[in-house]
A = this chain, B = another copy of it.
Amino acid sequence: MKLGRLNHVGVATPDLDASIAHYRDIMGATDITEPFVLDSQKVRVCFVNTPGENGTAGTQIELLEPTDPDSAVGKWIEKNPLGGQHHICYEVPDIHEAKAWFESKGKRVLGEPRIGAHGTLIFFVHPKDMGGQLTEIMETPKDGAH
């Protein structure tokens, strides 16, 4: 496998609206997407777009607020009530090839590929197999890498 684009850093928050205000008013973000609910992960989500080099799109911050305390992100917030860095997400050209690759290396893939926040297939790899980092792998959207 060849390292893909670092699509986003997932940041969990107990209060999505307060986090949006923080990125806008303190960090100076000018491009934050409209929040929506991603039912499959029981989160309300939006993306903070950061600038890349030479006017390209940079790595996004994905803000995640649990919609249910009894969910993966809900339990994470229970342990980390302020929020913080939750996962990291790399793009791949083919999600099924990537799944086979990680499994062939003995990495635990958490479930089958499913539709993620960017509308393409994603899976997560167990943080204990990834140097403590919960790692999301997502197929690059066909219309570009955002």
A-side residues, CB < 8 A to B, are 1-6, 9, 11, 13, 19, 22-23, 25-30, 48, 50-54, 56-59, 61, 80, 82-85, 88, 90, 102, 105, 107, 127-128, 130-133, 145
Min CB distance A108 to B, Å, is 13
**Which of B48, B51, B85 is close to A85, meaning CB atoms less than 8 Å apart?**
B85
Closest to A10 in B: B85
Q: In the complex, A48→B102 CA distance in Å?
A: 19
Q: Given the known A-B contacts A53-B145, A82-B131, A133-B11, are A3 and B22 also in contact in the complex, defined by CB atoms under 8 Å?
A: no
Residues of B within 8 A of A23 (CB): 3
A131 touches B19 (CB 8 A): yes
A5 engages B132 (CB within 8 Å): no
Contact assessment for A6 and B82 in the assembled complex, using a CB-CB cutoff below 8 Å: no
**A108 CA to B87 CA in the complex, in Å?**
25
Residues of B within 8 A of A82 (CB): 127-128, 131-132
Distance of A54 Cα from B50 Cα, bound (Å): 16
Which residues does chain B contribute within 8 Å of A61, judged by CB atoms? 6
Select from chain B the residue with minimum beta-carbon distance to A91.
Answer: B51
